Amino acid sequence: MIYLDNAATTKPNEKALKAAEKYLTEEFYNPSGLYKSGYSLSLQLKEARKNIVSLIADESKFSCVFTSCGTEADNQAIFCGGRRGNIVTTMGEHSALFEAVNESKQRGIEVRFANLNSDGSVDCEHLLSLVDDKTSLVSVIHVNNETGAINNISDIAQKVKAKNKFTLFHSDGVQAFGKIAFRLTKDIDLYSVSAHKIGGIKGVGALIKRKDLVLKPLIYGGGQEENLRSGTENVFGIKCFEFAAKDKFSGLNQAFDRIFALKKLFCLLLDSTMFDIISPENGSPYIISVAAKGVRGETILHEVDDKGLIIGTGSACSSNSNKRYSRVMLACGLDKQIADGILRISFSDETTEDEVRTAAKILNETVENRRRLMA
């Protein structure tokens, strides 16, 4: 079996699992407990918080709120950061954020959507034109989860602050964290990350925030996470996230270069008479979206699955939607015929050249056969 749907989820890092195992079997205590073992775990959480944040930011200026997933982190940013005036975001956002801002609209907050360029990146000029003195929050996805296009969030945030210094800037960094090199700047207030996209386990995420930013909680209760996210912390999952993240960042640049070469090889091996490459060459090497010409992407997905190749058709979090065409792909300007053939192939650090070659062969043969049957 060849697994190339890593943008949906990744295989857990075995070293991280092993290192975190004791927090399930031995140090299973409640970190809010006043006894010695509980206090010790609270210190472990503090260490994890510092270590994860330090990978992309100055830990003296940024901290994080541990959440159950990237979706929750996005929701907290929207509902607790965009509480007045208007929210500005893009048509290329993950459904976690897109649906959250639509809910904000139902609650009386004006929402403004910036257009996309053809590769899935945001039209910066249009986005900035939407920001005014009543904009409470701007949210721009860092790496588009369907095309892999990279938005220069540092530059965008700086320009947003120049228009309105009181506007909060958030970015969904789920597909960027642990995959591309960057550091958070002073103009970025909030940043969402997820554990299971980089070898952690499902059920853990974080909202990284400026320390001096006053933020309301999304979940109320016992006051955990410095009163920003109540609920007993998932110590095992958080420590696993910490260990997986440290492992990812230790070889981030080398992995980027290797995966970039695999992406280039894969695109060369695909038959151009049967596929259009949608993803930009300078986007994240971990995500490639292609369109099978004249064939439904979902049909191909199931046929290659039977042949031992697992890929996607877009965002896995939108697979429960009854909409046939990707909202993001249509916003990129693709017509419905092309959007109907979209397939998303996504790599991990474990992906090999042999797997890439075999995957391209299976896709070429499958689409060729399907088109022959339809003729």
113 Rama class: left (phi>0) / alpha (psi -120 to 50) / beta: beta
Q: Which two tokens stand for residue 137?
A: 């929050």
Which phi and psi angles does 231 have, rounded to 5°? 125, 140
Q: Which two tokens stand for residue 143?
A: 């790496």
Asked whether 53 and 247 are in contact (CB, 8 A), the reply is no
Catalytic residue among 240, 267, 317, 332: 317
Whether 69 is catalytic is: no
Give the closest residue to 137 by CA, choosing from 186, 181, 188, 185.
188
SS3 call for 124: helix
**Dist CA 214 CA 244 (whole Å):** 29
223 Rama class: left (phi>0) / alpha (psi -120 to 50) / beta: left
Q: Which residues contact 116 (CB under 8 A, 6 or more apart)?
A: 90, 91, 92, 122, 123, 328, 331, 332, 333
Question: Annotated catalytic sites, by residue?
Answer: 317
